Each structure stands twice: as structure tokens, then as C-alpha cells.
Copies of this chain bind each other. A is one copy, B any other.
């Protein structure tokens, strides 16, 4: 018996659910509704359209074989009816109807459904800044906005761009402006780091260095006070710390579930409006499904519900909904939050909790940092990867991993590898043993992902008197206090420049000389050892400990990490 399924929303999750359902039940009737004229586009591609790497918005709307996914495409190829320019105004759950309205003609209609999918996605947060209605201030979340931005940029109308918000979209837009168009670009972020909530603070500092090395001004811990303009067009962003000239302002301060219609229909939602769904993505009304940016699902690390507005989540959940509409029983237990972002020279990626999030969620957590080549150190084309692991001390569980690397794919190869381990509450011992693929062009015999777990193991066992790269930077900045004694354990050649630049503070005792020169090392100061990446200083620290130096630490990541932090060193 054929049923009628209505899908409200025709981007990502909606089309996926509709098409999956139709594939399983070809004789079903599916009506998909969207208030916009253009549907089923890859919204995540907008920064690459703005940069010019993607030529036209049509590319973002097309199949891999250049067929535009418009209403006619869905009708012909998928037998799905699509109503564009059509807004769903309300749901009557009792009567199982949706009221719709044509946004161009104002024409209204009431459609009956057997089952309903709410796929209305998210909407950009629009803080009530003074002057927010000025021309030239816009989010970058749909194709209409994307075209306005791209046209302005391509027509040479933008000399100064300001991005409000240093999350994924914000940074991708900043890169697009600065890298591809040479626009003077600034990012203003309320929190004290880029990628807040995703990158641990020390890695975020490294990402910031990449942005700043490429002429992007990054203003952290800074809030927009108002926008100023002339002739109705923005000219300045006024923050609590400065004025920034601006022809274009991108608002990228996060998104919220676009779920008024669900709230009004009495479907259970959390306080921010995210719809509560079960593992099958059914809402509190079993005839109504939802997913993607509309919903909240359990975080598999914390057990608490989270919000994961990502195209990949929407697609995977759309398939699950399609299967369940067809009478199947597909489920997703939750998510851990995995992500990646390409900046300039560097790419960043992570999964699970940062140290800050782990502590805030009540875990007795630590994190450790490793700098290591992303493939065999003797292989010619390679990069020094930064990788951090977050560990629950009592249970040894891996709670998260984050990193940065020049070769982004090589970084995602490590983050992806631990996604199943984080999801399944595996321990760092599982990461130490993790059988990542090995051959010199791709990885090391003791790969960085194994190594970072080994370092955590040593720290937990008390064998590694570990100092975080950011803490080294703090100590070094405070070097005149007289409490620290810095030892560079590289061979004299490697340490020469630093010794010459800082003869009072920088001491060179290579590993090979620790034993014979142990008496040079003071016992009344905090000894801090450093080398190129942390490998030699760790061993030097062990030896010095054995020889009676107790107040000692080894700086993880060594000078490699300090350079990425752009430390004053």
C-alpha cells in the first residue's frame, strides 16, 4: 500500500531521505518542499565558490556528472515531486497535514501526509548588533548570499573584508578572501582562540599563526559593538577594542536549528529548538522524522545530547530516515563530533573532546602533544605534524584527538583512524597498538598516532615529566624571573643560534653530554629541557632524573611546536 511522505526542506538530508525511500519503495509518493528557488546544493562548498576554486553555483547544485539537481531532475530521475518557492507554514499532527504557501504568489494549500520528514536545517545566528541591516553585511550559508558575496568580490568592490566568528565557515571565508583575492581580511572572534569548541587552545594558536602568516588579521577576545555605514552600506566594524574598515562583513557566528514549525507543532525540542529524536530519527511524534541540522543526538563520549550541523551527518542520517520510512530499522547511536578544515599552508582536524571540553564535562583528563613527521623521516616529501590526544586518567579512555598538518589528507588519515576508538570508549593502549597502514611514503614505523598514545601512557605512568608547548612558551616569556633553567639538548650546531641570541638564558647540553655535565644543572630551579621535536629532550630528561635532577620537565613538541606557535623565541 503506497503512502504519501512529505519532506520539508530540500538540501542535504531531505533529498537523501526522499531518494533513499523512493529507491526502496518505488511506488510511494514523495513530495519535497523548499522555500528557496534552488535546492539540493552543497552548502559546504560556498567558501570555494567565493574563492573561485568552484566556478559557478551550478557546480554546487550538480551531480558528479554535471546534471543540475533541480525540481525537474528529482521528478524525472527520482520520481520525487518538488515544490520550490514553497514554505511549509504549519503542521497539524492530529490531521496529519502540512499547510504550505507559495512565497512568490502567496497561494496556500494544505497537504496530507502519512509520514513527514522535517529537514529544514539550520539558520545563521544573527546577533542584534547595531547596524546589522546595512548593505554588505551577510551570512554565507545559502546560494543567494554566496552569489552576492562572489559578485562583490569579483567586481573589485571589496578591499576590506571582516569576518565575525572564527569557526569553520568564518575561517574558510577568510582564507577565500585573503588567499584567492588578496583582500585585506580580518577575523573578529569573541572567544580567546580560533575554532573555539573544536581545537584545543595550543593548537588553535598554531592555526592562528598560519592565518597571520598569510596576512589575515585575527582579533580574539574581542566583541563587535556595532557596524557603521555610509549611504546604507557598511564601512566600519566597531569592536570593543578597535575600528576596522569594511566593505564586506561576513557573519559566521554559528547556526541554530531552523525548527519553528516543529516547536509550534508541539514536537519535543531542546531549549535551543533542536528536535529530540530517537536512534531511528523519529521525533516525539512517531510519524514525523527529522535529522541533520534540525536535531540533537547523543554525544557518544559524554552521553549528553549535542548538535552536529554538518553536511556529512545530514547525508548519513537522511539515508537512515529513508530506510526507516520504507519499514526498515536503521539506527545511529550518536556522534562524537569529527571535523576538518583547510586553512592556508595548514589543515586542521579533530574528533571527540578537546581537553577543555573533557574537563568541563567532569573527566579527570589530560592531553599530550606530539610533533612528528607525517611519514618516514627519511622520505623526501614530508611535513612535521602536530597531534594531541585527550585521555581520561582513571580509565585510560581516549576522549579526543586534534591535530594540524601541512598535508591535510595525512592528518585526516590519523583522525579517522581513532574515530571508531573514541566512539567505542577504547583506551590509549588500543591507540598504541592501532594497526594503521605502514610504508615509508605514508607513515612511520612507529607512527605519530601510536606515538601520541605512547606519550600519554608515559605521562600517566609518571615516566614523562611533560610540559605542554604552550606552557613552555609561558615559562620562556617569563624567563627573567629567574625560576627557570632552560637546557637545549640538541647538538651544539642545532642549538647555536639560540645560545647566541640568549646567552643568559639558553644553555646547551646535548643528550650525549648530560652524564658528564650533570653538575652544571641546578637543583634549585625548574629545569626545562627542549630539543627539535621533544624526542631527545624526553630522553635527556629521563637521564637527568636518573642522575638526581628532580625538578625537571621536557618540552613536548620542542622547537617545532614553538615555531608553529610563533613564540617569541
Contacts and interface: CB of A to CB of B under 8 A. Distances in A.
Interface of A: 12, 16, 23-24, 26-27, 42, 44-45, 48, 53-54, 59-60, 62-65, 67, 76-78, 168, 172, 310-316, 319-320, 330-332, 335-336, 338-342, 347, 349-351, 372-373, 376-380, 407-410, 412-421, 423-424, 426, 429-430, 432-447, 450, 454, 463, 490-491, 494, 511-512, 531-533, 535-536, 539, 542-543, 546
Contacts of A536: 65
Nearest to A424: B424
A431 to B, nearest CB: 9
A409 B442 contact: yes
A188 B418 CA distance: 39
Nearest to A437: B340
B59 A378 contact: yes
Contacts of A338: 435-438
B440 A533 contact: no
Contact of A77 (B418, B446, B539): B539
Given A60-B378, A463-B24, A42 B440 contact: yes
A490 B65 contact: yes
A324 to B, nearest CB: 13
Contacts of A342: 439, 441-442
Contacts of A330: 429
Sorted from nearest, which 10 A-B pairs have the closest CB atoms? A312-B438, A409-B409, A416-B417, A64-B377, A311-B445, A413-B413, A420-B420, A340-B437, A26-B546, A315-B446
A378 B62 CA distance: 8
A177 B96 CA distance: 70
A445 B64 contact: no
Given A16-B446, A65-B494, A419-B434, 17 more contacts: A26-B542, A44-B439, A45-B379, A64-B372, A65-B490, A65-B532, A77-B511, A77-B539, A312-B446, A313-B435, A316-B446, A338-B438, A339-B438, A410-B412, A412-B442, A419-B437, A420-B420
B311 A438 contact: yes
9 contacts: A26-B543, A27-B546, A48-B440, A64-B533, A64-B535, A315-B446, A340-B437, A351-B437, A420-B426
A413 B420 contact: no
B494 A441 contact: no
Contacts of A319: 432, 446, 454
A413 B378 CA distance: 22
Contacts of A335: 435
Contacts of A16: 446
A64 B340 contact: no
Contacts of A65: 490-491, 494, 531-532, 535-536
Nearest to A53: B380
A445 B63 CA distance: 13
Contacts of A347: 441-442
B77 A445 contact: no
Given A48-B378, A441-B408, A442-B342, A312 B436 contact: yes
A419 B440 contact: no
Contact of A42 (B409, B410, B423, B445): B445
A442 B315 contact: no
A430 B137 CA distance: 42
Contacts of A408: 441-442
Given A416-B414, A424-B420, A435 B54 contact: no
B437 A412 contact: yes
A411 to B, nearest CB: 9
B379 A54 contact: yes
Contacts of A320: 433
Contacts of A539: 23, 77-78
Contacts of A437: 338-340, 349-351, 412, 415-416, 419
Given A23-B463, A409-B442, A494-B65, A76 B379 contact: no
A421 B434 CA distance: 11
A437 B78 CA distance: 29
Given A44-B440, A546-B26, A316 B378 contact: no
Nearest to A16: B446
A477 to B, nearest CB: 26
Contacts of A535: 63-65
Contacts of A494: 65
A413 B374 CA distance: 13
Contacts of A441: 48, 342, 347, 408
Contacts of A491: 65, 67
Contacts of A432: 316, 319
Contact of A312 (B27, B44, B415, B445): B445
A24 B546 CA distance: 11
A63 B444 CA distance: 12
A563 to B, nearest CB: 15
A472 B77 CA distance: 24
